[in-house]
Structure 1
C-alpha cells in the first residue's frame, strides 16, 4: 500500500474520522464502519489530510488549474489543499459554492476565483449518492470551467443498488466523463486492517460487508 494511503488511514483512526461498530447509513444498509471527514477538526489534522490528498492527486497525474470545494465539507478540504499546494510552491486559485444563492452584496452562488477557461479539480470527502458532485459539475460547466477530476478522501466501493453493480464513484465518473481519485478505498482499508493488530478483529466484518454490498465492477 502506498504511503499516502497508510498515512491517511492512520490519521483517520487517530482523529476518529474512521470508526468501527454498527452504523445505519442513509441507504439503510448497516455498515461495520463509518467515515466522517468532519472529525478532521484541527489545523494539524487538516494539514496532514491535505498532504495525503496532494500525494494521491500527484500519483494519479491529474492536470488542473483551480481547486473547487462543494458546500459544505468540500470547502475546508479545498482550502486546506490550496494551502498545501502553496507550501509546495504552487499557488492555485480557489472557488466554492453556497447552498443557496445570495441575493444581496456580490450575489450569486459561486465564491472565489473565476472558473472560466480553467481546468477544475473538485475536492470533497466522499461520493455517496453523487448529488452534490453532480451539482458542482453543473456549476463549474455553467461558469465556463472544465472539470478535470474529482478528488475524494475515501471510496467505500459499494454498489449503487441491486440493479447497478457500479459504485457511486464509478457511476459519476462514467456519466460525467470525469475521473475520480480517492486517497484510499475499502480495499485499502481491508489491507490496512490485515496489517494492523488492533484492527484484526474488524477485518472479517469488513469482508462480509464487501461481499454483500461491494461493487462488482472493476475500477
Structure 2
C-alpha cells in the first residue's frame, strides 16, 4: 500500500464523530481512536512495513511503551527480526519486579516505539527508566506525531524522533 493510501485508511478507521470527553476534560465532537488501527492486522502490517524503513541504523532492541507502543513494536520485531522489550509505566511490584519485559537491554542500543506522540512526556519518563536499566536510548519511532511540541520536548532531552505521519498528513 502506498504511504498516502495508508494515511487515508488510518484516518478512516480511527477518526470518530460524536461527543467525547478528552483526557484534559474538554469535550470534543471528534476523537481519534488509535487502537482501531492498531488492532487491524492489515493496517498494522502496512504500518510495520513503512515504519521499518525509519528504524535508525544500529538499533538492537525495540522498546514498545505500554500500551499503544506494544503492538507496533511487536509488528516491527516480526518484520525486522529485531528483538523487542515491553515497557511498563511502572515496574510491577511482584514476581520479577521488572519495568521492561522481554529482551535484555543492558548495553544495547534501544529505540523507543510509540503509537502517537503528543507532548512526549511518557517517552521522557520511560527513556530515563530504560537508561537506568543500562539501555542506550537515543531514538524514538512513532506512527503519528500529533503535536510539534512533542518533537521539541524530545529533542531538548537529546532524543531524535522519527515519525511516519503527522496529524496533518492524516487529515
What TM bracket, shorter-length normalisation? 0.7 to 0.9
CA 1:189 to 1:76, structure 2 compared with 1: closer, same or farther past 3 Å? closer
Partners of 1:62 and 1:149 within 8 A in 2? no
Q: CA deviation at 1:185?
A: 1.1
Partner of 1:18: 15
Partners of 1:63 and 1:148 within 8 A in 2? no
Q: State the TM-score, normalized to the length of structure 1.
A: 0.66
Give unpaired runs (5+ residues) of structure 2. none
What is the total number of aligned residue pairs between the two structures?
169
State the alpha-carbon separation in 1 of the partners of residues 98 and 45 from structure 2. Answer: 30
Larger Rg: 1
Alignment of 1:1-219 (within 5 A): 3-4=2-3, 6-14=4-12, 16-19=13-16, 25-27=22-24, 34-40=31-37, 41-55=39-53, 57=54, 61-85=56-80, 91-158=81-148, 167-174=149-156, 176-189=157-170
Which is richer in helix? Answer: 1
State the alpha-carbon separation in 2 of the partners of residues 70 and 119 from structure 1. Answer: 16
CA 1:33 to 1:96, structure 2 compared with 1: closer, same or farther past 3 Å? same
Indicate the RMSD between aligned Cα atoms, in angstroms: 2.5
State the alpha-carbon separation in 2 of the partners of residues 62 and 170 from structure 1. Answer: 22
